[in-house]
Amino acid sequence: MRYMVVVERGKKSWGAHVPDLPGCVAVSETRDAVLRLIREAIDFHIESLKQDGLSVPPPSSESEFVEISAA
C-alpha cells in the first residue's frame, strides 16, 4: 500500500502525519528522521488495527501543488 504523508517543517523540528490513518504521526529534528519514523508509525498503526480486529483504511488521500502569483 502507498499512503500519502504530509511533512511539515517547524521552527525547530519536522512533523509528519498520514491523513488516511488518524493519529498516525511522527516528529523529529530532521526531515530524513521524520520520514523514517513515520514509516515505522504506519507499520505500527496498521499492525495495531489488525490486532484489534479493525479494518485497515485503504489509501485514498491525494495531494496537488497549486501555483499562484505572489501578492
Q: What is the pLDDT of residues 6-62, one digit of tens each?
A: 999 999 999 999 999 999 999 999 999 999 999 999 999 999 999 999 999 999 999
Q: Count of domains in the chain?
A: 1
- Give the domain range for residue 34: 6-51
Q: Where does the pLDDT of residue 66 fall: very low under 50, low under 70, confident under 90, or very high at 90 and above?
A: very high
3-state helix, strand, coil in the chain (%, to 5): 30, 15, 55
pTM: 0.89
The reply to whether 64 falls in a domain is no
The reply to whether 65 falls in a domain is no
Q: Which amino acid is at 53?
A: G
The reply to whether 20 falls in a domain is yes
How far is 24 from 51, CA to CA, in rounded Å?
16
Q: Where does the pLDDT of residue 70 fall: very low under 50, low under 70, confident under 90, or very high at 90 and above?
A: confident
